[in-house]
Structure formats: structure tokens, C-alpha cells
Chains A and B, each alone.
Chain A
């Protein structure tokens, strides 16, 4: 299957390893991957902060870049949730009936990586190898907006050598929330403090999630505390093999 990769501006700029892992993984599974270079940002940050007008050209751009793609796959649950939950609202606001139609046609073809693998391709074992003690944090947007269910866990359970420990209070928000982490930094940090405690309770070496934004927030605190726990995106775990790790 020919897949178009939406890598997201956040991963492109800050977490290129996640993008590379997504490419390696999908190619290993026998798919042709393309990365349209014109892509930039889905508009989530603008939209969620209230800059709805500014999101219109970004939605238009997304539609222009990916309009013809058979399937669009992204290693970011929150960006995909933005497309699924809010693109029709942005299109509505634009008053442009053509954009509305384009969005309507495009949205069902945009997938989060784990959801695409498990629900669309029916793959649960991607042939990965990762011999470490890990825990998985289900990010809010993957869990409650996209409803990926246990797709990421199904994939992780099939990774060779992995020691997957259940995270206590896993479904609680880590406190990131985009600009919330800056605007309400004190509250965000109180939430983060509890999340970090629960991660440490698992004695895992690695905390995994389907969103690098949440992981940057969690990882930022783990690094500050020099606790020795790493954060790694799900795609990178799934891309790991005996030869690579």
C-alpha cells in the first residue's frame, strides 16, 4: 500500500528519530512511503489556543498537500485528533464550501500510526525486538478523542524481549495540554509531578507514548530529576529490531 506520511511539524523539528522510525517500520512491513515536503503543521496549537482564524490556511494547506493520498499516517495522536475532531469546524468557519467538501473527503483517510497498523492493516506483531523494562502512558487524545483503545498495547505486547509494566493511574492526564503547560504552568506541574511518581513506581527504564508532545513534557521532568528513565515514542519501539537495538 502506498502511504503518505504526515510527520507533524513537532516531530519534524524536534523528534526526527520518530519520523525515521515510522518510515523504517512501514517499509519493513512492505509498504511504500512518501513524505510530501510541502507539509507543515496541522494547526492544532493555533486552534486549541483560540486562534481559529489562523488555523484556516493551515487546514487548507493540509488538504492541498494530502488531498489525493490513499492513506495518510501520522505518528501523533493529538495531531490526528485535531484533523478528525476539528477540521470540519475550521472549514465551517472559513465559509468556503469547497474546503468543507475537501475536508469531509479527506478526514476518513487520516490515521494515527498504531490505529492504522492494528485496525486498518490488522497487524499486531510488527516483528520488533526491544529487550527493556517499559511502561506505556496512554495520552488523552489517543485515548479519549481518537479512541485508539488498546491498539498500542496490542502492538507492544508482541514486541520480543519487552517487559511491559502497567502504569498506575495510566489514564490520568500528564498535564501537558499544549499552551496549558505554559499558561497554567503551576497546575500543569502538579499534574506532571503525580505522573512522574507513577512512572517511577513501575521501575521502568522507558516510558512510551503515542505523542511526543506529552513525552517532551514528561521527559523534561524526568531529565531534570536525573532519574535515569527515558521517554521513547511508540514508533521507535516498534521500529527496533535485533540488529538495530
Chain B
């Protein structure tokens, strides 16, 4: 992800601050519940929703099985349509390619369509270093950019901000003395500001929702029309996308154009659906570049269980139903990919040796709500548990003495040993009953030491009763 391997904080560390921020929790709780309910309605209208999910999942699985073939096919299709294809093995390489292209045009400003992939590679920062300003034109991305903040949701990047906060921001940054907090007025202020930028921009940069291998067509779906502006007005268009975003044929849009809008914004269709195939004389950009980004994706592909993560079409339905995301917000994940999908994608892209990334698979109660809504049926709980296994295996191999003396590790080892043999298990039951005497007060346990203190901060723990079930059973049998 970010090109340098900087250590990120763990989810536990970051979540604490956000959980204490009651305004943030209210903003996100309100927003996610609204989208959640609307999605349920939009999906409920579809009699064949389960079949669509199945189809979406199957198409994406086929893409992953034959990715090598489809990538070469896509390259050829784009070239035949007059586009140029670039391959980037990581973010650094992608940024270098894009920077070169922009510098050739001798511009100081480029307009951007909302794209998480460009956030992943920190493109704006890379361009800014060379004196080029990348202007976000999606309303929410603009808010985040003006506030010098980070997106906290895949689809609704400013979900953590409310109207009043946005009004204050616009008053200051867009020099608006008089501004109400009505959504219409806020949107109008941004619109006036952006319109000038669209008309003067020479270079547009976008991500892509889908790339059709068969035709070389790239597609971006959006709600505001800013994407349409960026992909049609400038002379040069640069699209950067993860190499997993392929669909084999044009016909496959039939499935995804039903799955995506209903899952994402709870709409039957997105207000703006842009498709472009290479370049067309006298119409739209006269130069088109497609940058295909790996940045860890082929490693994900190599893992048979983890691979399904690449099926993701970035609808963010999983974020909106996640009880963890709802309470901590997106920033606690310390990644451009927050929520359940982020909890499995980030560690696979970044690598499990990064302590922050390795904490993410544990940021879930495994409640399964994400899997239930996923339009391409990514079994997120399965991948979470799979990654936990890889993390523990890795710690056992290379964790050294720190791992061997870790409370959890010792506890797990001891319990595994006890469970293996009935006599040891029964002895452990008795020992636990005696041992708990230290902590039981007035018939309950309210204060535990070490890592278990987390339990008793808000919850009492029920003491072990006098008689186990098996003791009762034996007595009854006699």
C-alpha cells in the first residue's frame, strides 16, 4: 500500500479514541443505519437477488482463475481502441508513470474523479511533491481534501462529518461569508467552485469500477456528474485501477450494474454511468492512459482462501452493516480500506508482519452481517479466521521469546493440552474453580488482572458453579 513500510498503530489503539468521540459515533451510526435500511429496500425489490449474487461471485471467480489471460486481452483491446496501457508493480511505480504523463502536459493542476486506488498509492501526495495539485471533484472527497482529513468510508468518505461541520469548512476554505447548512446550499457552493476547474483542466485522473477485457471499455459509476466532467472535458485522461477490476465481457454489466448501485447507494441505477473505449476523434479526451496496478494483489491471488477478497466491487455494503465499523468509524482501521473488507484486504496487501495491519483481522466479532450483504458473496468471516491462522502461525515461527511468554499464547497452549485429554480437562475444571476464589466477591467476579481486565471493565463474570454438568451426570447415573 503506502510505498514505505511505516508501522501503523493497531486497531485496538486507534479505536479507543474514536469510541470516546460521541459526536462521531452519532454521525456514523445515523448515516450507516440510513443507508442500511435503504439498501434493504432496494435489494428487497429484486426477486432474483440471490441468483444475481451467485452470478456476480461466479464471474469474479472466473476472472481470478484466468486473470493472466484476461489482463493480456484487456491490454490488447485498449490498445486497439487507441489507448495506452501501463503496468505498475507497486504504488511507487504507478505514481512515477502518472507523474511523467502529467509533467509532459506541463500543467500544475489536474482534476480527479473519486478513486480509492489513488488514495491507496497516495497519488495526490506524490503529485504535490512535484508541485502539481490534484483537485478532488467528488463533493465528499473535496470536503475531506479541504479539511486536510482522510476518508473514513469507501463510498461516503466524509461520513464522519455532519452538515454544520461542513458549513464551517466551506465558509473558511471557499471564502463564503454567508452559507446555510442546507445540503442544497452546500452542494451549490462546491458546484460553483468546481465548475471553473472542470472547464480549465487539461488532465483528468480517474479510477475505474470495471474494465471489460473483451472491448477495452472502462466504466465509472457515480452520483454527482463530476466523474463525467473529468472523463470527458480534459484532453488527456489517465485511469489507474487495480488489476482485479476486470470483467470478461460487455454482457457481464448486466449482472454488475444491478448488483453495485443497489448495494452501494441503494439506487436502482447510478445517476451517472460513464463508459469509454480508448479515444474517439473530435469527441472527449484525445489521449487515454490506463495504469494497471498490482501493489500486492498478485500475492492475494496466490492465497486460495484469501483470493476471494479480490472479487470486491467496492460497494461498501459491508461497512454499513458492520457493528464494529458503526462504532469506531473508518479511521480506526488506519487504511484507505476500512470496515470488514478493509480488515481482510489491508493485511493481505500490506503483509502480516505489519503489526497494525495484523491487528485488523481481529477487529471483528465474526457476526457475519458483512457476508450476508456482500453482492459478490465474499465470505469475509472465513477470510478473517484464515488470516488469524496465518498471523498465529507466523508469530509461532518468528515471534521468538516475546510470543512464547505472551499471555494469550500460553493460555491457548495450556487449554489445548487440557482439552486433549479428559482427565486433564476435569482436573483443569477443578483447579479453575479453586483458583477463582481469589476473585469472587459477593457471588460474582468484578475485577480481573492482566489481559482479562478488559472483560470486567463493564461486565461481571459469572463464577464457576459448585458442580459441573459432568459431575451431575455421573451422580445421576449412579
Tell me the A residues contacting B by CB distance below 8 Å: 7, 9, 11-14, 16, 19-20, 23, 35, 37-41, 43, 45-54, 57-58, 61, 85-86, 140-141, 143-145, 171-173, 175-193, 216-217, 219-221, 223-224
Contacts and interface: CB of A to CB of B under 8 A. Distances in A.
A48 B419 contact: no
A171 B367 CA distance: 10
A223 B469 contact: no
A139 to B, nearest CB: 9
Interface stretch (B11-19, B53-61, B100-108, B234-242): B11-19
Given A20-B472, A224-B460, A178 B366 contact: yes
Interface string B350-371: 0000000000011111111101
17 contacts: A13-B432, A14-B464, A16-B465, A23-B473, A37-B473, A46-B415, A53-B396, A86-B385, A140-B368, A144-B369, A180-B362, A183-B454, A184-B12, A184-B362, A187-B15, A217-B459, A224-B460
Interface in B206-264: none
Interface residues of chain A: helix, strand, loop or mixed (majority): helix
A219 B445 CA distance: 12
B365 A191 contact: yes
B443 to A, nearest CB: 10
A58 B419 contact: yes
Given A13-B432, A48-B388, A49-B392, A175 B365 contact: yes
A13 B451 CA distance: 21
A217 B365 CA distance: 13
Nearest to A175: B365
Nearest to B328: A187
Contacts of A178: 365-366
Nearest to A226: B460
Contacts of A41: 415, 419, 425
B329 to A, nearest CB: 11
B323 A173 contact: yes
A187 B323 CA distance: 9
A48 B386 CA distance: 9
Going nearest first, the 4 A-B pairs with the smallest beta carbon separation are A177-B365, A185-B454, A220-B459, A50-B388
Given A40-B419, A187-B19, A189-B457, A16 B327 contact: no
Contacts of B19: 186-187, 190
A177 B387 CA distance: 16
Contacts of B388: 48-50
B412 A54 contact: yes
Contacts of A186: 12, 15-16, 19, 454
B467 interface: yes
A25 B422 CA distance: 26
Contact of A220 (B15, B419, B461): B461
Contacts of A39: 422
For the residues of B in contact with A, the DSSP-based class is helix
B462 A9 contact: no
Contacts of B16: 186
Which among B19, B365, B457, B462 has the greatest number of chain A C-beta atoms within 10 A?
B365
Contact of B419 (A53, A61, A145): A61
A181 B366 CA distance: 11
A50 B392 contact: yes
B51 interface: no
A181 B455 contact: yes
A187 B363 contact: yes
Nearest to A65: B422
Nearest to B370: A144
Interface residues of B, number: 67
B455 A185 contact: yes
A43 B371 CA distance: 23
Given A186-B15, A220-B460, A9 B392 contact: no
B299 interface: no
B474 interface: yes
Contact of B422 (A37, A58, A85, A181): A37
B412 A49 contact: yes
A58 B416 CA distance: 8
Given A61-B419, A140-B365, A180-B365, A20 B457 contact: no
B131 interface: no
Nearest to B368: A144
Interface in B78-115: none
Contacts of A172: 323
Nearest to B454: A185
Contact of A46 (B393, B416, B474): B416
Contact of A184 (B11, B390, B421, B472): B11
Given A20-B469, A48-B385, A224 B446 contact: yes
B391 interface: yes
Contacts of B389: 47, 50-52
A227 to B, nearest CB: 12
Nearest to A41: B419
B391 A50 contact: yes
Given A185-B455, A187-B363, 8 more contacts: A14-B465, A52-B392, A54-B416, A176-B365, A180-B362, A184-B15, A220-B455, A224-B460
A141 B344 CA distance: 20
B393 A52 contact: yes
A172 B367 CA distance: 8
A11 B465 CA distance: 11
A181 B364 contact: no
A192 B324 CA distance: 11
B133 to A, nearest CB: 37
Nearest to A48: B385
B452 interface: yes
B416 A51 contact: yes
B34 interface: no
Contacts of B429: 12-13
Q: Count chain B CB atoms within 10 A of each CB in A52, A171, A193, A217 and give the residue with the most.
A: A52
